[in-house]
Amino acid sequence: MSGLYDLLLGPFIEFAFMQRALLGAVLLSISACPVGVFLMLRRMSLTGDAMAHAILPGAAAGFLLFGLEIVPMTLGGLVAGVVVAIAAGSVSRLTVQKEDASMAAFYLISLALGVLIVSMRGSNVDLMHVLFGTVLALNNEALTLIGGITVLTLASLAVFWRGLVAECLDPLFLRSVSRLGPPVHFVFLGLVVLNLVGGFQALGTLLAVGLMMLPATAARFWTVRLEWMCVLAVAIGIASCVSGLLLSYHASLPSGPAIILSAGMIYVVSIVAGTRGVLATRIQHHSHRTA
């Protein structure tokens, strides 16, 4: 019994830094995973990755001016993310270029610029902190920020739920019957940026999108109902965070990559064993052929 306690409960009960890491990761899962579901259903999964890198120059500028301070880096990342989202959207609407291409262009520029800015002042350790985060070093200020983002995200999803669902299913229909189409789109992009900024505190710019997208893509192999998909994505996200933190603690591994790899393992299992996964599809196909 004591072995089970030491393996599963002890790290979270005995160490305050593990408690803060778990709280921050759980809050991020509750907030970011439903946003990831909508990103996936809108076929914008790679947009989330691009936006994660888009916040890097702003966060790097905050680091250049104030060091590893949460508020300046967060505000800088938020401004940079909003600017890139608006710029990419504007380019796609005013030119012949599609939004994914313009987003990719801005993402590459942002990534290079952000790394350059961090390198101007910081060391390789600082660059690793910005790129991969430090979930085990979350303080009360970071937890307050992540908690605020979680509350704002859940409130926005509750208010704009029907509009978000309608835009996922048929954005042209929504625009034809309502003027909510463009506002809902930009509100949604704002939620993506907010959650990536929150995830940046814990997982860095390179891994923040992982907690947003991997649980969402795994959940789709288990259910077709949107509400349950969001709930299941949150559950998978929390399970990934718990298992990743425990793996990080016991095996002395970097916590951020351990969390994302845990989510990746659940994704692989879901592909194979999910109710809409490979095995279920093959069994169903075989039963239809023999019927």
All structural domains of the chain: 2-207 (1.10.3470.10)
CA distance 89 to 177: 22
Q: Per-residue confidence at 102, pLDDT binned at 50, 70, 90? A: confident
State the average pLDDT over residues 82-109. 73
State the average pLDDT over residues 121-132. 65
Contact at 8 Å (CB) between 74 and 201? yes
Query: pTM of the full predicted structure?
Result: 0.85
How far from 67 is each of 70, 74, 210, 235, CA to CA, in Å?
Answer: 9, 12, 26, 35
pLDDT, mean over the chain:
81
State the average pLDDT over residues 164-188. 72
Whole-number pLDDT of residue 127 = 63
pLDDT at 261 exceeding the cut of 80: yes
pLDDT at 214 exceeding the cut of 70: yes
Contact at 8 Å (CB) between 185 and 47? no
CA distance 135 to 246: 13
Choice between 38 and 166, residue whose per-residue pLDDT is larger: 38
Contact at 8 Å (CB) between 117 and 159? no
Whole-number pLDDT of residue 289 = 67
Highest mean pLDDT of the ranges 48-62, 117-131, 169-183, 229-243: 229-243
What contacts 189, CB < 8 A, 6 or more positions away?
51, 85, 89
CA distance 73 to 68: 7
Judged by average pLDDT, the poorest of 95-104, 208-217, 260-269 is 95-104
Nearest to 118 by CA among 73, 79, 75: 73
Per the structure block, which two tokens stand in for 217?
């893509």
* CA dihedral (144, 145, 149, 152) positive or negative: positive
Contact at 8 Å (CB) between 171 and 180? no
Alpha carbon 134 to chain centroid, angstroms? 15
Choice between 182 and 18, residue whose per-residue pLDDT is larger: 18
State the average pLDDT over residues 194-216. 83
Annotate 251-266 with b (16+ C-beta within 10 A) or e (fewer): eeebbbbbbbbbbbeb
Judged by average pLDDT, the poorest of 32-41, 61-70, 169-178 is 169-178
Annotate 88-97 with b (16+ C-beta within 10 A) or e (fewer): bbebbeeeee
Choice between 228 and 11, residue whose per-residue pLDDT is larger: 228
CA distance 65 to 67: 6
Q: Per-residue confidence at 34, pLDDT binned at 50, 70, 90? A: very high
What contacts 231, CB < 8 A, 6 or more positions away?
none
